[in-house]
Amino acid sequence: METQKYKDLPRPEKRARLLEIVRVFLRLGVVAFGGPAAHTAMMEEEIVSRRRWLSREKFLDLMGATHLIPGPNSTELAIHLGYSRGGLWGLLLAGACFILPAMAIVLAFAALYVRHGQVSEVEGVLYGIKPVIIAVVLQALLRLGKSVIRGWLPALLAAGSAALYFLGVPEVPLLLGAGAVSMLVKNWKRVRDRLFALPLFPLAVLQPLPEQARHLPASGLFFTFLKIGSVLYGSGYVLLAFLESEFVARQGVLTGKQLLDAVAVGQFTPGPVFTTATFVGYLLGGFPGAFSATAGIFLPSFLLVFLLNPLIPRMRASLWFGAALDGVNAASLALMAAVSFKLALASLVDPLTAVLFAAALLVLMRTKISSFWLILLGGLAGFVAKSVL
């Protein structure tokens, strides 16, 4: 399935690839509702199943690698995919095109919020979109599961990771633990015979952020969010904790309500939840603050992916790190399933949402229609239903 490397292509084909990257990730950025699990499912459908840019196994390795570095996982996956398809230009274009639609939408909400003091409601649209997203994620889990769950060890790691997640164990220790167990089990004979020290995964040490000045110019916002983006592992809820500590408790420049409204906008708009930074930046510094905050929180992801992507084939070829990647991939899939299960409990709340979910899953299984159209139809159905009822 692997296609010719970007650097070996003639110039017209390079240009065509880059234009394709722009189209794909702009469209994903517009309809990628539902958080990282849903974003990953949409990328798998669009890039692996439909366009066949790379194999499912390589996609899984890229997905697993994003969990080992700080930053927004689905955005980093988009950047990885763009780099694999179009080199450095592909890396920049994929990341920018995935982020920019969400940033523009969040910026519009921020401007309305400053003027009116509240966030416009989009309950009807989300009501219809969420059941469709559950169907998209379930189909992706079934496809990815065939590549990950091969034998008793990945099945056990996936089941154990899901169980521990529901018991409250944080994501990063789960992923690293699954990788370590897989590495040990698959190389047990070498461990037993040689007893040499195992390589350790590099893990960024979370350092407390230094206190910032109360005045927040664009440059101050950039560096504050740069530090947050450099050390933040986990979901949008972890981002909430960082923002509360920095802007509410330490500096007192935001109220708790303003912060919760900022996170709510990041949650219900498409694309990365980290565009919450756009909203906060606008509240504290207008348009320059919004652009600076967005650039700061996403810049580490571009740099980390640029450094990590060339190492992934070597990791896969290594007996040690290849085994660890298998464990991380199994745990990643389990976390994706666990988060989606929680979303399903909150989304399938009545007969209509159940019908939307079942219909979307049936269409996805029986046809090759893009989830893009199903998501739009789901949003329209939800809007009409909420307007009539």
Q: Which residue has the higher pLDDT, 169 or 83?
A: 83
Distant-in-sequence contacts of 361-366, Cβ < 8 A, 24+ apart:
361/135, 361/138, 361/139, 364/135, 364/136, 364/139, 365/139
Q: Quick one: pLDDT at residue 206?
A: 35
Most confident range, picked from 125-129, 252-256, 266-270, 357-361: 357-361
Per-residue pLDDT band for 240 (boundaries 50, 70, 90) equals low
**Residue 242 pLDDT > 80:** no
**What does the H/E/C string look like for 297-312?**
HHHHHHHHHHHHHHHH
Q: Across the chain, how many H-helices and E-strands are there?
A: 16, 0
Q: Residues 6 or more apart from 179 whose CB is under 8 A from it? A: 201, 324, 325, 327, 328, 331
Q: Where are the domains of the chain?
A: 6-202+305-388, 218-297
- Give the angle 342-127-33 at the CA atoms, nearest 5°: 65
- For range 269-292, the mean pLDDT: 86
Q: What Cα–Cα distance (Å) separates residue 138 from each residue in 77, 161, 295?
A: 19, 18, 33
CA 35, CA 348: separation in Å to the nearest integer? Answer: 17
* The pLDDT value given to residue 3: 60
**Mean pLDDT (whole number) for 290-309:** 92
Q: Which is higher by pLDDT, 200 or 255?
A: 255
Determine the pLDDT at residue 315.
79
- Cα gap 7→227, rounded to integer Å: 33
pLDDT tens for 117-166 read 655 555 677 678 778 878 877 887 887 788 778 888 888 988 898 888 88
Q: Quick check: 295 pLDDT over 50?
A: yes
